Structure 1
Amino acid sequence: MEIKFAAAPKSGSIAVAAFEKAALSDAAKAADKASGGAISRAIKGSRFKGGAGETLVLSAPSGIDGDRVVVFGVGKKKTDGNTMEQAGAGLTKALLTSGEKALHVDLAGVCDAECAARFALGAMLAAYRFDKYRTKLSDDKKPSLSKLTIATDDMKAAKAAWTHASAVADGVYIARDLVNEAPNFLRPPEYAKRVEKLADLGLEIEILGEKEMKKLGMHSLLGVGQGSVAESKIAIMKWNGGKKDDKPLAFIGKGVTFDTGGISLKPGQGMDEMKGDMGGSAAVVGLMASLAKRKAKVNAVGLIGLVENMPDGDAQRPGDIVTSMSGQTIEILNTDAEGRLVLADVLWYAQDKYDPEFMIDLATLTGAILISLGHEHAGIFSNNDKLADTLTKAGLATDEKVWRLPIGPEYDRQIDSPVADMKNIGEGRFAGSITAAQFLQRFVNDKPWVHIDIAGTGMWSGAKDARLPTFGTGYGVRLLDRFVADNYEK
């Protein structure tokens, strides 16, 4: 969808704002007067209250040129970015398949330039569709709304803010497309090829294959993919936008392109959703694309471990022992606890190769995090209070919320093995997300680190938030872009 910041023309369908208790904005009052009070009468005859995301559509009211006047809610008069995103998303969702092609939105007197850009971001998030393989979609189900023109009090500032926000929107789209892609079209080699195309944005791309990983001793990662005919890969993306001597910020993603569970086979019901088990890697790819698109003034490196976990005759077995790149040995007790095995080697490689300022990994790692936090928060685990606190603030600022959970030696004992340095699962059903984080911590040394478990937020088919599509949400791109912008680009 095309979004422009410009004065609204004198004709065409328009959208005007209302605050809580259906209090009309100045633009809405003017439209109400021009229509002979049609807007006020429509509100009285409806349940519209002006809450963020609410809409009320009037078709061709007398006195106003255009097919429609849409009243959209923005909530309180002292609105914020998240609320304006919800408003933009609600408006877009209401008209996306309505037949309307272009809409002129009047935000004058409603919010500042930054919040106007967030309104546009919400609209873009709501406009996302994954229709790539739908060949018989009827016209009434196809998106029609293709253009928003937004008028604000400070057009220049809004355009500048939108330059940043639009790059983030593009990054979210990239992440969502990756998560929603059919797994037969996104096996590790194909995934790596898609990453290589991002060099067009100015990213430096490097791909490691199995030959290189064997030389590095990455048998933890390689063991996961050994049952698949598709070659495992590590894709590395570098953005050099900061000072030459600044250490890079490192972002690591789990990229299991399909997870059958391996020999510890998952139940068949719902297994199709395991195409999204690479959601952490998708977030890293989307973030790196966003940083490059907006020319972020920071050095960053994104590393994603790409494997396919299949139950072939050569697949890894429960009882196997593998040696990670760190030299530590791992007893495999459940081949469906594979994401941590992938991340172990990529985390070690990231700190050994790049000596980053910190490491943040993202993974759809444990079903246990859904039991703890549902879909509303991602779980974070960290050895650094400052990193955890700043991520929490970024989560609140973007509505990609996180909640910190504990790690400690009392949990660490659960992954000790009698025959190796550690085992890849804890003891029984308890503290499953925590013991997974404890496993990862053994591969970060004292490097500042945060693990983000996005199993509940990266894939969500029942979301009611208009900003979120069915299934792949692209969670993590907005969170991490805000985290970087607020803390490392000043």
Structure 2
Amino acid sequence: MKPHNISIKRKKSFKLTYQKNKFVLFIGEDGKLDDELPLHSQMAGFIKKFISKKAFKNIALSKSITLDNPITLEPDYILIIRTKSLIDDKELYDFGKIISKFKGEDNISIIWSIDKPFTSTARTIQLRSYVFDGLKSKKNSRKKSTDTIFFINEKFKYSKSDLFKNDALAEGVFLCRDLVNLPANILNTNQFEKELKKLNKVGIKVRVLNEKDIKAIGMNLLFAVGKGSENPSKVVVLEWNGGKKGAEPTALVGKGVVFDSGGLSLKSSSGMVDMAMDMAGAAVVAGVLKSAALANMKEHLVGIIGLVENMPGPNALRPGDIIKSLKGDLIQVNNT
């Protein structure tokens, strides 16, 4: 899925249209409402009355309460978060968790009155919006796209590149999660190769080594793992060259066992049930490279992904087999 949109507006733009939908206010220990916020008079009076009451003072610091919106009959609410004078990074993350739960599938406005960058909270909201329901026979009637708008004070400086980096990170994380969530009958080694080749679109070079290449190079251990499967083993090399010309690359190596039955040393059913996720390392490498490319990271990165499926079969690796590694060592396999 695609990350949902996050945008920025100045506080003075918080007009009545936004006030009729879900929105978030941060109120400090002193219980003062920002007089410069262009709230509808009925709304302002309602909130001022609430924060003067004991109910507001009983809210623990960095915790929240949800109130009915007084200017609409629609099921829209106001989230009030009571804040300390000094807020740390952990609390910025926690605010994102609170707001994400409050947001649900709706558009939301956030009045950012905290004297710290909002990007960490925005990133948390965006990453927690992920849902994997593409394989459900009856999909939930989710809204295709919802917006999160941060309304910030005129004095606060911000850069759109911060949101751009958040978007790039979310794209990579969501790719990783999508790959990990796909079952092995769909994401076999051939399909994984196709998914990785899509990264060409964001400027990543993709090179695929087939079984003939793997054997010629001498990657015998990797080839041996996949001998029992009908799905061919592969090595996929991803490269993002955003660094200086001639710069040495940073290499990321990801394990891509699309399913690990245990081979001839067969796992129990309980030990096998989650083994479609044995390719999570490969998914992480793919996600990192995608995020780096979308963010135009000034680094030279190479991702190396070995794709195999460990299955029993007439040609499968046996306990006791001795295989020569690429390094030249002779390795005896005791458990496949």
Asked if these proteins are the same fold (TM beyond 0.5), I'd say: yes
Aligned positions of 1:156-195 closer than 5 A: 157-195=158-196
Kept in 2, the 8 Å contact 1:230–1:308? The answer is yes
Match for residue 6 of structure 1 among 5, 9, 13 = 9
Match for residue 70 of structure 2 among 33, 37, 61 = 61
SS for the counterpart of 1:56 is: strand
* Alpha-carbon distance in structure 1 between the residues aligned to 2:270 and 2:199: 35
* Alpha-carbon distance in structure 2 between the residues aligned to 1:218 and 1:327: 10
* Alpha-carbon distance in structure 2 between the residues aligned to 1:189 and 1:130: 22
Cα distance per residue 1:455-475 (max 9 Å; x no partner): xxxxxxxxxxxxxxxxxxxxx
Q: Please report how far the alpha carbon of residue 18 of structure 1 lies from its aligned counterpart in structure 2 after TM superposition.
A: 4.2
- Rg larger in structure: 2
SS for the counterpart of 2:265 is: coil
Q: Please report how far the alpha carbon of residue 180 of structure 1 lies from its aligned counterpart in structure 2 after TM superposition.
A: 0.8
> What is the identity, as a one-letter code, of the residue corresponding to 1:104?
S
Kept in 2, the 8 Å contact 1:36–1:62? The answer is no
Q: Aligned in 2, Cα 1:50/1:43: closer, same or farther, shift over 3 Å? A: farther
Aligned positions of 1:126-165 closer than 5 A: 126-139=128-141, 142=142, 146-153=146-153, 157-165=158-166
* Alpha-carbon distance in structure 2 between the residues aligned to 1:25 and 1:106: 14
Aligned positions of 1:41-120 closer than 5 A: 44=55, 48-51=59-62, 54-61=63-70, 67-72=76-81, 76-97=84-105, 101-108=106-113, 110-113=114-117, 116-120=118-122
Please tell me the root mean square deviation across aligned C-alpha atoms, in Å. 2.9
Give me the TM-score of the superposition, normalised by structure 1. 0.60
Cα distance per residue 1:368-396 (max 9 Å; x no partner): xxxxxxxxxxxxxxxxxxxxxxxxxxxxx
Aligned positions of 1:229-308 closer than 5 A: 229-269=230-270, 271-308=272-309
Kept in 2, the 8 Å contact 1:81–1:119? The answer is no
Give me the TM-score of the superposition, normalised by structure 2. 0.86
SS for the counterpart of 2:246 is: coil
SS for the counterpart of 1:157 is: coil
SS for the counterpart of 1:90 is: helix
Cα distance per residue 1:140-164 (max 9 Å; x no partner): xx46871101022466624221121
SS for the counterpart of 1:306 is: strand
* Alpha-carbon distance in structure 2 between the residues aligned to 1:223 and 1:233: 12
Kept in 1, the 8 Å contact 2:132–2:181? The answer is yes
* Alpha-carbon distance in structure 2 between the residues aligned to 1:296 and 1:169: 15
> What is the identity, as a one-letter code, of the residue corresponding to 2:94?
Q
SS for the counterpart of 1:269 is: helix
* Alpha-carbon distance in structure 2 between the residues aligned to 1:46 and 1:77: 15
> What is the identity, as a one-letter code, of the residue corresponding to 1:83?
E
Q: Find the counterpart in structure 2 of residue 437 from structure 1.
A: none
Q: Please report how far the alpha carbon of residue 34 of structure 1 lies from its aligned counterpart in structure 2 after TM superposition.
A: 3.0
* Alpha-carbon distance in structure 2 between the residues aligned to 1:28 and 1:83: 25
Q: Please report how far the alpha carbon of residue 24 of structure 1 lies from its aligned counterpart in structure 2 after TM superposition.
A: 4.8
Q: Please report how far the alpha carbon of residue 216 of structure 1 lies from its aligned counterpart in structure 2 after TM superposition.
A: 0.4
* Alpha-carbon distance in structure 1 between the residues aligned to 2:209 and 2:54: 60
SS for the counterpart of 2:137 is: coil
Cα distance per residue 1:338-367 (max 9 Å; x no partner): xxxxxxxxxxxxxxxxxxxxxxxxxxxxxx
Aligned positions of 1:306-385 closer than 5 A: 306-335=307-336
SS for the counterpart of 2:136 is: coil
> What is the identity, as a one-letter code, of the residue corresponding to 1:44?
A
Cα distance per residue 1:311-334 (max 9 Å; x no partner): 222211111111111111111111
* Alpha-carbon distance in structure 1 between the residues aligned to 2:111 and 2:73: 15
SS for the counterpart of 1:172 is: helix
* Alpha-carbon distance in structure 2 between the residues aligned to 1:297 and 1:29: 41
Aligned positions of 1:216-235 closer than 5 A: 216-235=217-236
SS for the counterpart of 2:264 is: coil
Bigger RCO (CA 8 Å, 6+ sep): 2
SS for the counterpart of 1:184 is: coil
Higher helix share: 1
Kept in 2, the 8 Å contact 1:96–1:144? The answer is no
Greater than 6 Å deviation, 4+ residue runs: 28-32, 63-66
Kept in 1, the 8 Å contact 2:31–2:52? The answer is no
Q: Aligned in 2, Cα 1:330/1:28: closer, same or farther, shift over 3 Å? A: farther
Q: Please report how far the alpha carbon of residue 40 of structure 1 lies from its aligned counterpart in structure 2 after TM superposition.
A: 2.8
1:35 maps to 2:46: yes
Q: Aligned in 2, Cα 1:227/1:43: closer, same or farther, shift over 3 Å? A: farther
Q: Find the counterpart in structure 2 of residue 428 from structure 1.
A: none
Q: Please report how far the alpha carbon of residue 55 of structure 1 lies from its aligned counterpart in structure 2 after TM superposition.
A: 3.9
Kept in 2, the 8 Å contact 1:35–1:62? The answer is no
> What is the identity, as a one-letter code, of the residue corresponding to 1:211?
K
Q: Which runs of 5+ in 1 are unaligned?
A: 336-490
SS for the counterpart of 2:175 is: helix
* Alpha-carbon distance in structure 2 between the residues aligned to 1:48 and 1:216: 64
Cα distance per residue 1:50-96 (max 9 Å; x no partner): 43xx44221222599993211236x6443344432331232112331
| Corresponding pairs, count | 322
Report percent identity of matched pairs.
30
* Alpha-carbon distance in structure 2 between the residues aligned to 1:43 and 1:260: 60
Q: Aligned in 2, Cα 1:163/1:45: closer, same or farther, shift over 3 Å? A: closer
* Alpha-carbon distance in structure 1 between the residues aligned to 2:33 and 2:248: 49
Aligned positions of 1:468-483 closer than 5 A: none
Q: Please report how far the alpha carbon of residue 259 of structure 1 lies from its aligned counterpart in structure 2 after TM superposition.
A: 1.2
* Alpha-carbon distance in structure 2 between the residues aligned to 1:135 and 1:331: 46
SS for the counterpart of 2:243 is: coil
Q: Aligned in 2, Cα 1:132/1:270: closer, same or farther, shift over 3 Å? A: farther
